[in-house]
Amino acid sequence: MEKGILAEIEEIIDEFSFFDDWADRYQHLIDLGRKLPSIPNKYKNESYKLSGCQSTVFFVAKKTEDDLIQFKAQSDAAIVQGLVALILRVYSGRSANEIIDTSPDFLTQIGLDKHLSPTRKNGLASMISKIKSSAMELR
């Protein structure tokens, strides 16, 4: 059985609190990004490109047979790929209502809001927004 969305968020907060400094947290993010499976080439084109991100992010949302929403995304930048992995860990494979009702506050709780450049923050906000709007469209 899949871990609940709140349990996943708690696990992420615990993981990040384990690290003493931001160099280690960034490394953890990069490692998470490296583990993210590559998206199929058919999605690596302009129509799947996420706007609002400085680096290239390809993003796709699909509804599964059991009414869950699966997200796939990939970035060409290591830290952004890590952020993508983090976001997908929380939101992918959930019901539309869970996605819509779950705040991205955990990003603030792990301190990302204070340690990302303004352009990365905008890109992250753009991705969260796309996840929420995709959930609205697909429910």
pLDDT tens digit string along 52-110? 878 899 999 999 999 999 999 999 999 999 999 999 999 999 999 999 999 999 999 99
Who has greater pLDDT, 2 or 138? 138
Sorted by where each begins, the domain ranges of the chain are: 5-138
Burial of 34 per CB tally in 10 Å (0-12, 13-18, 19+): exposed
Q: What is the CATH number of domain 5-138?
A: 3.90.1010.10
- By annotation, the residues acting in catalysis are 53
Pair 112, 90: CB distance under 8 Å: no
Q: How confident is the model at residue 2 (pLDDT cuts 50, 70, 90)?
A: low
pLDDT tens digit sequence for 9-25: 999 999 999 998 999 99
